[in-house]
Amino acid sequence: MLKLNRLTDYAVVVLGQLARNSGKVETATEIAMSTGIPLPTVSKILKILSSAFIVMSHRGAGGGYLLERRADDVRVAEIIEAFEGPIALTACVDSAVDNCSIEALCPMKGNWNTVNEAIRTTLFSLTLADMITVTPLEKSEKRLTHIKAQQYRN
């Protein structure tokens, strides 16, 4: 199963919190309290995001964290790569870190490159702003409104 690790998932939550309060410096403690993610985990996430130039930190009194750039300029793929490394489904794709022992003979390599590139393209087309625009509750409310409208028509 393809699955992001929990730290990557939480990173999107942390970034969403910073994006919603755009321009406001937030401490790791404030982010932890707002998101429900434990403070040590938030601190670890912020350190990685800072190293990846996705967030910037301000030290001292009144210090904290904020986005390095606007939410619509932060690509989902960047976030994933900061925590997971290069996006590569198999060892034989062009962006893989490891080499496959049968790569030279394998007839599937080109096919996996196509699949991998489709996923990478999609993840690079999505932004942090896309991820935080509509909440699940809003989606549910829209879906419920749509269902009610259909029932009314029938």
Flag residues of the chain having pLDDT under 50.
none
DSSP character at residue 72? G
Give the burial class of 41: count Cβ atoms within 10 A of its Cβ; 0-12 exposed, 13-18 middle, 19 or more buried.
Answer: middle
What pLDDT digit, counting tens, does each position of 17-53 carry? Answer: 999 987 899 999 999 999 999 999 999 999 999 999 9
Residue count (the chain)? 154
Torsion angles phi and psi, residue 58, rounded to 5: -120, 125
DSSP character at residue 73? G
Nearest to 16 by CA among 136, 102, 130: 130
Phi/psi zone of residue 36: left (φ > 0), alpha (ψ -120 to 50 degrees), beta? left
Question: Please, where are the H alpha helices in 36-75?
Answer: 39-51
> What pLDDT does 148 receive?
59
In what helix (H) or strand (E) does residue 58 lie, and over which residues does it extend?
Answer: strand 55-58
List the structure tokens of 14: 């942390």
In what helix (H) or strand (E) does residue 65 lie, and over which residues does it extend?
Answer: strand 64-67
